Amino acid sequence: MIEHRNYIAGAWSGEDFRRNSNPSDLSDTVGMYARATEHEVDRAIEAAAEAQPGWAALPVGARASYLDAIGSMILARASELGELLAREEGKTRAEGIGEAARAGQTFRYYAAQILQATGERFASTTPGTTIDVDRRPLGVIGIITPWNFPLAIPAWKAAPALAYGNTVVMKPADLVPGSAWLIASIIHEAGVPAGVFNLVLGSGRMIGARLVESPLVDGITFTGSTQVGMHIAGESLRHGAKRFQLEMGGKNPLLVLDDADIDVAVAAAVAGTFYSTGQRCTASSRLVVQSGIHDVFVERLTKATSELVVGHALEATTEIGPVVSESQLQQDLDYVRIGRDEGAEVLTGGEVVERATEGNFMQPTLFAAGRNDMRINREEIFGPVACVIRVDDYEEGLAVANDTEYGLSSGVVTTSLSKAANFRAHAQAGIITINRPTANTEMHVPFGGTKASSFGAREQGPHAREFFTTMTTTYTAHGTP
């Protein structure tokens, strides 16, 4: 079995390894992965700082070629990457391959994106003068990623960071080092100059603190829990007012109105709530349903949920893979108990399930008779658990949908154009879906939320440059004064 090391200054390093196991089959070793030391993290940061001016000085076409090559290599190996992702995280093979393809496309997208014009020219109020606004790379970027999108999130942070002339030190989630390691190995194979991209594996607490505290790191882009994100925010400000971008938790509502097409509503709820085992920041976990359609919707959704096939992520028939880890499974089961204690009713699921292999398998769980003030409807569970909340009319439904500290995504299912338009104007979220699952992310458009879900510039699309570049404003006098 190969030992997967840290990637620092163009070379592989690390002595101390930890085994990572497959949540579909705990006896299956996905790989042995290094634990970076403090010294290695510091070396990675120094390497990135040394490489940054040279990388930024490359002609834009050269950077574009590297990104294009990385994207093409990821796409060519999408099946292998997707399967590894499914083994280490537990989403289905099809979802894993889809995510790998998206990661490859993201690198290719930014290869083209950086050839777009980025400067602006303004007239000056002073005669004979022009004002130019230019963009520069931010510098060295610390990338900290969660476990639930082990390829897509590293790609959607690393690709624009590198594209706009920054260098990177990336720290992936400890549960999923393998996908990030494969990206690093592809970047190495693509011949990207040493130090431009560095990967450090291991503990978030130690590596995260080192990245945030280092004066050589100019920005931190983080995706993960609100709790860790808020900690990073405070520390970034304490350490030289470092720039930071945070994508955090969600408690996303799907509002189903009486005039909804019932098939569309059930399909949106099943996919948005339970696919990827509910482990998506954009998953719908509050199903806010108007009273006229409530009973038929609940009956249809209960049936569809109970028929979902839970199993090993690599089995072709599996629709819902395992929960990512034993501690996450325990958290999901704790919330099932909390929901029952609060008086919500379990319509289907709520139990662990046994399969041929020992894994973290859990039935998708649907609650009804929920109130929006219950803990299961306030706190992010991050598993295959959702709750139906009954409302009388659209106004109440919108109010319940918005009554949350989070604001990542928010969906409505309706055939009324005016209600859809009203929802689009008033839903308190960064991502709004109409007659679709709440989980939508396309790489060429901005992604991010409001309230406690996000802080700072949007990710993805051309808007990613807001975080990864800084602006200069130049006043030029042309004539003799």
Q: 64 or 232: whose CB is closer to ligand NAP?
A: 232
- Interacting positions 58-97 with ligand NAP (CB under 6 A): none
Of 8-16, 44-52, 83-91, 220-228, which segment contacts ligand NAP by CB under 6 A?
A: 220-228
3-state SS assignment for residue 476: strand
Distance, CA of 452 to CA of 294 (rounded, Å):
30
Binding mask 344-383 for ligand NAP (x = CB under 6 A): ------------------------------------x-x-
Pair of tokens at residue 70: 């990385």
Binding mask 106-125 for ligand NAP (x = CB under 6 A): --------------------
Distance, CA of 351 to CA of 377 (rounded, Å):
19
Closest CA to 255 of 280, 285, 287, 282: 287
Annotated catalytic residue within 40, 88, 89, 247:
247
Pair of tokens at residue 258: 């009486």
Q: 33 or 361: whose CB is closer to ligand NAP?
A: 33
- Interacting positions 294-333 with ligand NAP (CB under 6 A): none
Among 45, 408, 413, 429, binds ligand NAP (CB under 6 A): 408
* Min dist. Cβ of residue 372 to ligand NAP (A): 19
Of 31-39, 118-126, 182-190, 223-231, which segment contacts ligand NAP by CB under 6 A?
A: 223-231
Q: 77 or 463: whose CB is closer to ligand NAP?
A: 463
Binding mask 236-255 for ligand NAP (x = CB under 6 A): -----------xxxx-----
Q: 298 or 329: whose CB is closer to ligand NAP?
A: 329
Integer angstrom CA distances of residue 474 from 380, 469, 481:
46, 16, 17
Query: Does 189 participate in catalysis according to the annotation?
Result: no
DSSP state of 140: E
Of 28-36, 70-78, 105-113, 203-211, which segment contacts ligand NAP by CB under 6 A?
A: 203-211
Distance, CA of 310 to CA of 221 (rounded, Å):
34
3-state SS assignment for residue 94: helix
Of 2-10, 122-130, 144-152, 348-356, which segment contacts ligand NAP by CB under 6 A?
A: 144-152
The answer to whether 368 and 391 are in contact (CB under 8 A) is: no
Distance, CA of 287 to CA of 472 (rounded, Å):
46
Buried b (16+ CB within 10 A) or exposed e, 395-433: eebbebbbbbebbbbbbbbbeeeebbebbeeebbbbbbb
The answer to whether 381 and 335 are in contact (CB under 8 A) is: yes
* Length, in residues, of the chain: 481
Distance, CA of 372 to CA of 353 (rounded, Å):
29
| Number of Cβ within a 10 Å radius of residue 476 | 10
Contact flag: residue 29 with ligand NAP (CB under 6 A) = no
Q: 382 or 394: whose CB is closer to ligand NAP?
A: 382
Of 143-151, 257-265, 329-337, 351-359, which segment contacts ligand NAP by CB under 6 A?
A: 143-151
- Max CA pair span of the chain: 84
**Would you list the DSSP string of 334-385?**
HHHHHHHHHT-EEEE--SB---SS----B--EEEEEE-TTSHHHHS---SSE
What is the residue type of 286? R
Query: Does 46 participate in catalysis according to the annotation?
Result: no
Closest CA to 137 of 233, 62, 236, 49: 49
Annotated catalytic residue within 88, 281, 387, 459:
281
Phi-psi region of 412 (alpha: psi -120 to 50; beta: other; left: phi over 0): beta
Contact flag: residue 203 with ligand NAP (CB under 6 A) = yes
Contact flag: residue 178 with ligand NAP (CB under 6 A) = no
* Min dist. Cβ of residue 290 to ligand NAP (A): 27
Among 36, 232, 308, 391, binds ligand NAP (CB under 6 A): 232
Distance, CA of 102 to CA of 162 (rounded, Å):
17
| Number of Cβ within a 10 Å radius of residue 348 | 18
Among 14, 165, 177, 208, binds ligand NAP (CB under 6 A): 208
Of 24-32, 55-63, 224-232, 473-481, which segment contacts ligand NAP by CB under 6 A?
A: 224-232
Among 49, 81, 173, 289, binds ligand NAP (CB under 6 A): 173
Pair of tokens at residue 66: 């590297």
| Total chain residues near ligand NAP (CB under 6 A) | 29
Among 103, 281, 288, 374, binds ligand NAP (CB under 6 A): 281
Q: 20 or 148: whose CB is closer to ligand NAP?
A: 148
Residue positions annotated with a catalytic role: 247, 281
Q: Which residues bind ligand NAP (CB under 6 A)?
A: 144-149, 171, 173-174, 203-205, 208-209, 223-225, 228, 231-232, 247-250, 281, 380, 382, 408, 453
